[in-house]
A = this chain, B = another copy of it.
């Protein structure tokens, strides 16, 4: 397929690298032309500085920009590429945001967290596709299957629910790691000592219900430890951490009482 990308951030970067081996990346547009040019060089594509410069002879335009920018991008795209299939890659934006402005609309959502520092295992990354037209849905399915073994046609409601779950499973667990690092940093203890624990905690919920895997003082209702931890956090004046500690411990205790 001949594909153009709107955006040159983390998601666009990983999509371009994954797609270019089996497909042709035609254009890359970004508000920052420098970023578009950098990614275009990697993807053997042509960077453009305005939507009107986009090649109309493409099978698909993928939007990989912040959710807030999607509506404006669509308005501009549909003006210059009225007949091209346009998809967004957002977990939390309904198909209707696109389809109310553009007839051939779709979604191509990879359920993964993207960092420039790390390669993505695309073959195991679940991809969720959605489209207004059935033939386009088939096209997106085929495209997704060229990247991943796990391709699903999900409704916008299901996808939104998955994305909300992903905020808990990814963004909030990462913030827990961040808080853990703040705790050990305060005592000049090496954060890397926690790596085996972090990996085992993640791995075990891929085989068992996380509720059954819960451990720790809150689950055991161990009031002595809970109080001692609150005192330790108060001593190092970590009010944010104390607040999270209190709320999470209270909820874990309730859930397991």
Q: A83 contacts the other chain (Cβ, under 8 Å)?
A: no
Give the complex CA separation of A193 and B92 in angstroms: 16
Q: Which residues of B contact A120 (CB under 8 A)?
A: 200
Within the assembled complex, what's the spacing in Å between the Cα atoms of A162 and B183? Answer: 8
Q: Is A92 in contact with B225, judged by CB distance below 8 angstroms?
A: yes
Tell me the complex Cα distance, A233–B167, Å: 12
The answer to whether residues A158 and B189 also contact, given A113-B215, A174-B214, A178-B210 and a CB cut-off of 8 A, is: yes
Apart from A166-B180, A195-B206, list 10 A-B contacts with CB within 8 A.
A67-B224, A114-B215, A118-B200, A126-B193, A168-B176, A168-B183, A168-B244, A170-B201, A170-B216, A175-B248
Is the CB–CB distance between B92 and A217 below 8 Å?
yes
Q: How far is the CA of A177 from the CA of B168 in the complex (A)?
A: 7
Check B222–A171 contact: CB distance below 8 A. no
CB–CB A161/B189 < 8 A = yes
Cβ contacts A to B, 14 pairs, < 8 Å: A66-B222, A68-B222, A92-B228, A113-B215, A158-B187, A161-B187, A165-B180, A166-B197, A167-B216, A168-B179, A168-B241, A168-B244, A170-B198, A243-B247
Copies in the complex: 2
Q: How far is the CA of A211 from the CA of B180 in the complex (A)?
A: 11
- Cβ of A114 to closest chain B Cβ, rounded Å: 7
A72 sits at the interface (CB 8 A): no
Residue numbers in B under 8 Å from A199 (CB-CB): 202-203, 206
The interface on chain A, measured as residues whose beta carbon lies within 8 A of the other chain's beta carbons, has a size of 95
The answer to whether A198 and B169 touch (CB under 8 A), given A114-B215, A247-B244, A248-B244, is: yes
- Whether A206 pairs with B192 at a CB distance below 8 angstroms is yes
Pick the 4 closest A-B CB pairs, nearest first.
Answer: A171-B216, A202-B202, A169-B180, A177-B210
Contacts of A76 in B (CB 8 A): none
**A183 vs B255: C-alpha distance when bound (angstroms):** 15
A210 surroundings in chain B (CB, below 8 A): 174-175, 177-178, 180-181
CB of B181 within 8 A of CB of A211, answer yes
Asked if A218 lies at the interface with its beta carbon under 8 angstroms from chain B, I say yes
> Does A208 interact with chain B (Cβ within 8 Å)?
yes
